């Protein structure tokens, strides 16, 4: 299939655009596509925050609604040219405690988006995760590729895998004009404190020891959220309809390495952390092969020094306590119940 011409477009709908990755993408588009009008469509659950969009009001509007609401999503899709679908329930621990919201949002919600896109003949880009591929062993040199078989291990990753397959089916069966990207673990500003990196940073700021699941040997492939945003825009600009692209920055680090680096950068003893009960079904290693995106579309990450990216992220959380503090107490109370 040929490249879909987005240069005629100027109205973009970003579902989940008040969440961590979505709001960073909105900010990236705001800076790099000055002629575009951006509509954020977000339910504003606990993991979203409209304050993440402050300062963008001249070209960014916010629609507070659920993607499972057929009428609302249809109306939003109809008034835009291009839809980028970030909206998802995304926290593994929460999916283990209560799977239904993940089934509803990630599967039913994606179905609603697809049907709206199909009805109004709009261009769609679907955002997904490397977790759909399951995990790799620690001594396995291989990485995930677009044709790696799906092998999800949690309610979260299985519902994201299901949403990817829905998109692929709608492309093939109904000629929906869509692309898919699967990305590795994001870090950066505006991330909810339930996630690994901001949780540890905010724990240290508040004078407590960071906590690591199990032995801390589990490996994640980290990418700065701005690199994710630039990867998605590259796919929108140059990607072929029907194709899946993997976005990664060769940032493999063990959880223990990440926490030790955070401690070091914040002036603490790098071993001053606590090991806690492991998460059920905890994947061992993720690793992305982004060569298709690199070679076919010419994309390269800019934040290749993980330590520098982490230092900038720490500074953001230190400077924006008012943004994350309202989330913190409830998050730690929940983790305390789980013994983590």
**Catalytic residue IDs:** 130-131, 156
| Residues 93, 132: Cα–Cα separation, whole Å | 16
Phi, psi of 181 (to 5 degrees): -130, 140
Q: Exposed (0-12), middle (13-18) or buried (19+): which is 59, by Cβ within 10 Å? A: middle
- In our burial notation (b when 16+ CB lie closer than 10 A, e otherwise), range 303-316 reads beebeebbeebbeb
Strand order in 219-224's β-sheet?
185-187, 219-224, 252-254
One-character DSSP codes across 162-208: HHHHHHHHHHHHH--EEEEEEE-EEESTT--TTSHHHHHHHHHHTT-
Quick check: 133 and 150 in contact, CB under 8 A?
yes
């Amino acid at each position: 299939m040929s490249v879909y011409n987005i240069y005629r477009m100027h109205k973009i709908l970003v579902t989940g655009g008040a969440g961590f990755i979505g709001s960073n993408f909105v900010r990236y588009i705001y800076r790099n596509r000055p002629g575009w009008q951006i509509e954020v469509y977000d339910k504003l659950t606990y993991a979203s925050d409209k304050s993440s969009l402050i300062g963008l009001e001249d070209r960014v509007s916010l629609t507070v609604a659920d993607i499972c609401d057929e009428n609302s999503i249809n109306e939003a899709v109809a008034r835009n040219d291009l839809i980028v679908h970030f909206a998802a329930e995304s926290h593994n621990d929460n999916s283990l405690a209560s799977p239904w919201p993940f089934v509803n949002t990630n599967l039913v919600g994606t179905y609603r988006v697809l049907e709206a896109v199909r009805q109004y003949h709009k261009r769609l880009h679907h955002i997904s995760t490397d977790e759909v591929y399951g995990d790799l062993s620690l001594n396995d040199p291989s990485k995930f590729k677009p044709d790696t078989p799906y092998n999800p291990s949690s309610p979260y990753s299985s519902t994201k895998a299901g949403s990817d397959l829905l998109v692929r089916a709608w492309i093939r069966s109904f000629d929906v004009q869509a692309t898919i990207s699967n990305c590795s673990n994001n870090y950066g500003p505006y991330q909810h404190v339930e996630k690994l990196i901001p949780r540890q940073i905010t724990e240290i700021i508040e004078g407590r020891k960071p906590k690591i699941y199990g032995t801390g040997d589990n490996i994640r492939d980290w990418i700065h959220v701005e690199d994710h945003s630039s990867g998605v825009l590259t796919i929108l600009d140059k990607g072929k309809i029907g194709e899946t692209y993997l976005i990664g920055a060769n940032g493999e680090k063990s959880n223990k390495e990440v926490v030790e680096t955070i401690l070091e950068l914040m002036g603490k003893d790098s071993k001053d952390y606590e090991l806690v009960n492991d998460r059920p079904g905890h994947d061992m290693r993720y690793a992305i092969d982004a060569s298709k995106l690199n070679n076919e579309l010419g994309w390269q990450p800019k934040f290749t020094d993980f330590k520098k990216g982490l230092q900038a992220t720490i500074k953001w959380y230190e400077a924006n306590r008012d943004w994350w503090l309202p989330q913190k107490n409830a998050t730690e109370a929940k983790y305390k119940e789980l013994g983590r």
